[in-house]
Homo-oligomer: A and B are copies of this chain.
Amino acid sequence: MPTNKTRRDRAHEQLQLTVDLVILTVYGGDLQVLIVERGNEPFRGSPALPGGFLRSGEGVYEAAVRELWEETRLDGEKLPLRQLEVFGAPDRDPRGRIVTVPYLAIAPNLPPPEAGSDATAAALRPVRQLLTAGASLAFDHDDILRLALEETAKELEHSTIATEFCGETFTIGELRAIYEMVWDRPLDPRNFNRKVTRTDGFLEPVGTRASREPGRPAMLYRAGPAKRLYPPILRSAEGED
């Protein structure tokens, strides 16, 4: 670029940065995402991802942690809060030049928020239904949600984030349900069982057993120390790439 200025006499328009959060959880046997109703223009009244502007002196990551805390009272430092691709098309926000940094958060057993707690009403919405029902969220939040879901699906193959959907302890059946929901395909329970138990550091047996419905009670596990899965657990072919 021009050599002499690099300074700011070139019009650097007033630009603002937001973070948006895709908070995924499992509730009622469905994969859900936290959606708020916008209280202000633009898109007032439309559903949208929770998020907000960066504050003065605040890091991007810190802003995401703060927003997560405000929305869910969850501590972002302890969750896998993963940054996604920035969305920065010049016309994505009618208010002006606003670039957003989306973050993906995975919450174990997030309780559905009480309505009216904030100026904006928050609720859990089933992800699949939201995405198949055509465009529905404000701004480019549909794209962000789609990206987040694909990112989650990829992560399930190589990392242990699936356990973050679960509580302190869980059964392999519950873990498998996570995979099936995110990948949107059924898995063989027998093979899945061996796959996850054979992977070192993925699961630690707790010994206890859970008895609920009919059927043999399952063994309980806790998340192990491993963060990466080797070998990976791959979705076989047929890409929703």
Chain A residue total in the interface (Cβ 8 A): 47
Given known contacts A10-B53, A16-B15, A241-B228, A60 and B39 CB-to-CB distance under 8 angstroms: no
> Which residue of B is nearest A67, CB measured?
B1
Given known contacts A99-B17, A119-B4, A12 and B54 CB-to-CB distance under 8 angstroms: yes
- Across the interface, do B60 and A6 meet the contact criterion of CB distance under 8 Å? no
> Which residue of B is nearest A63, CB measured?
B88
- Across the interface, do A12 and B101 meet the contact criterion of CB distance under 8 Å? no
- Across the interface, do B120 and A3 meet the contact criterion of CB distance under 8 Å? yes
- Specify which chain B residues have a CB less than 8 angstroms from the CB of A58 in the assembled complex: 90
Is A198 part of the binding interface, using a Cβ–Cβ cutoff of 8 Å?
Answer: no
Given known contacts A3-B39, A101-B88, A14 and B11 CB-to-CB distance under 8 angstroms: no
Is A57 part of the binding interface, using a Cβ–Cβ cutoff of 8 Å?
Answer: yes
- Across the interface, do B15 and A52 meet the contact criterion of CB distance under 8 Å? no
- Across the interface, do B13 and A57 meet the contact criterion of CB distance under 8 Å? yes
Least CB distance from A229 to B in Å reads 11
Given known contacts A88-B60, A237-B230, A119 and B13 CB-to-CB distance under 8 angstroms: no
Give this chain's copy count: 2
Least CB distance from A28 to B in Å reads 28
A90 CA to B54 CA, complexed, in Å: 11
Chain A contact residues: helix, strand, loop or mixed: loop
A197 CA to B96 CA, complexed, in Å: 50
Is A8 part of the binding interface, using a Cβ–Cβ cutoff of 8 Å?
Answer: yes
Given known contacts A57-B90, A58-B90, A118-B3, A15 and B13 CB-to-CB distance under 8 angstroms: no
- Across the interface, do A55 and B16 meet the contact criterion of CB distance under 8 Å? no
Flag A65-77 by CB within 8 Å of B: 1 or 0 each.
0110110000000
Is A89 part of the binding interface, using a Cβ–Cβ cutoff of 8 Å?
Answer: yes
- Across the interface, do B12 and A52 meet the contact criterion of CB distance under 8 Å? no
7 nearest interchain CB pairs? Answer: A60-B88, A3-B119, A13-B56, A11-B56, A59-B89, A1-B52, A57-B90
Q: List 27 A-B contacts (CB under 8 A).
A: A1-B69, A4-B119, A6-B52, A6-B119, A7-B40, A8-B16, A8-B53, A10-B55, A11-B55, A11-B56, A12-B53, A12-B54, A12-B55, A13-B57, A15-B17, A17-B88, A17-B99, A57-B97, A60-B86, A60-B99, A61-B89, A83-B86, A86-B86, A86-B101, A228-B239, A228-B241, A230-B237
